[in-house]
Amino acid sequence: MRCRSVAVNLGLIGMLWCAAAWSQAPSPSLPQPTLPPPAPAPMTPAPSVAGEAWVLLDHATGRVLAGHNEREPRPPASLTKIMTGYVVAAEIAAGRVHEDDQVRISENAWREGGAGTDGSFSALVVNSEVRLGDVLRGLVVQSGNDAAIALAEHVAGSEAAFADLMNRYAAQLGMTESHFVNAHGLTAEGHVMSARDVALLGRAMIAQFPEHYRLYSVKEYTYNGIKQYNRNGLLWKDDSVDGIKTGHTSAAGYCLAASAEREGQRLISVVMGIQGGRSDGFRLREEGNQSLLNWGFRTFETHTVYAVDAVVHAPTVWQGTADQVNLGVAQPLQVTIPRGRYADLQAKMQLPAQLVAPIEQGAEVGRVTLKLGDELVADVPLVAQQAVPAGGFFKRTMDGFWMWWESD
């Protein structure tokens, strides 16, 4: 910027001197964040997991760390109720329903989801009215089918209309291998989820509705004099696990979605389609999720490379009221990589040859990419952190000359 002021004072001679100086100036380098002490770990293969489909996902970045048939649509059993709870939480957040609403327990909810069925139930009394917050706890903790139907009817008027709502939310979340027919997950034609979609749904719920997600860590809940226990056995076995949901039908097999947080890193695992008897099914779905989580935490680490307020680069701006603009990222730039490889990350910027005002705050003006060896691990926009309005006539004229000179 000193050259521009010299040019103004010295006229054409100053312009020529500055042009020569600029032509020899080095390209700006991308600043690197402070590197944590490396913690190398051998890159061992993912564990062998029982089940016809499974996946391990990093919560912060959404990166799939390992999987098997993770995009295969399958009967999800009560993993469906993760979506049921998500929809209710979203409708509460939108103000369309409230936790203090009185939910009528219809004969349909009682008959199709109550004690007379093969599935789990929340002991809701037919034709009674129950506070929505209590019905929601019955859905999450006890996995009540009656609770699922009652909530669907309260939110959307009917279970069919609620299923349509579930599908709309699923589309918004990018759950491309899922389709919902009911709110409880009992086997029905066309009612499917993939392991990847279950993990994506869990990630969205944890990020968007943390208060609702806390229900999934509740180990027991008493309603109508009946103590109901959470069926996720990992809640008792691993203090870092705080959700998410179990499921079982003969078609779906034994299923479990789990999430754990250790030292600020959160992972989500999903195991579906374990066949066999009850005791083996319970054991294998817990062991499968536990081994995936342990392997993931041991093998990978997640870093915030650039926070939203970090200045990634401050390039020259032409014909503006300021001579530079600070560039950053619109969302925290996070990466999940094998442990001990952070120092091997390579960052590059893509910017126009010349930035010309006006530039609006938040406008995308370039991109920053991160690579680990040949693998592209991040590619995000660089945005202006402040506006740069167009300068006056003299400023635009002077800079116009320099832009012409540099472009030759």
| Whether the Cβ atoms of residue 148 and residue 164 lie closer than 8 Å to each other | no
Catalytic status, residue 78: yes
Tokens 């019905």 belong to residue: 135
Catalytic status, residue 122: no
DSSP state of 192: B
Q: Is the peptide bond preceding residue 268 cis, with omega within 30 degrees of 0?
A: no
Tokens 């989580």 belong to residue: 293
In angstroms, the CA 207 to CA 63 distance is: 15
Catalytic status, residue 217: no
Sign, CA dihedral 46-49-53-55, equals negative
| Whether the Cβ atoms of residue 326 and residue 384 lie closer than 8 Å to each other | yes
Nearest residue to 293 via CA among 325, 263, 261, 319: 261
Could you say which of 106, 143, 178, 259 is catalytic?
143
Quick one: which H or E segment has residue 204?
A: helix 195-208
Q: Backbone phi, then psi, for 289, in 5-degree steps?
A: -65, -40
Q: How many helical (H) and strand (E) elements, i.e. helices and strands, does the chain have? A: 12, 17
Q: How far is CA 303 from the centre of its chain?
A: 15
Could you say which of 81, 178, 291, 395 is catalytic?
81
Nearest residue to 218 via CA among 284, 141, 151: 141
CB pairs under 8 A, 24+ apart, for 238-241? 238/290, 238/293, 240/293, 241/293
Q: Are strands 64-68 and 241-249 parallel, antiparallel or unpaired?
A: unpaired
In angstroms, the CA 106 to CA 113 distance is: 10
Quick one: which H or E segment has residue 398?
A: helix 393-407
Q: Any idea which residues carry the catalytic annotation? A: 78, 81, 143
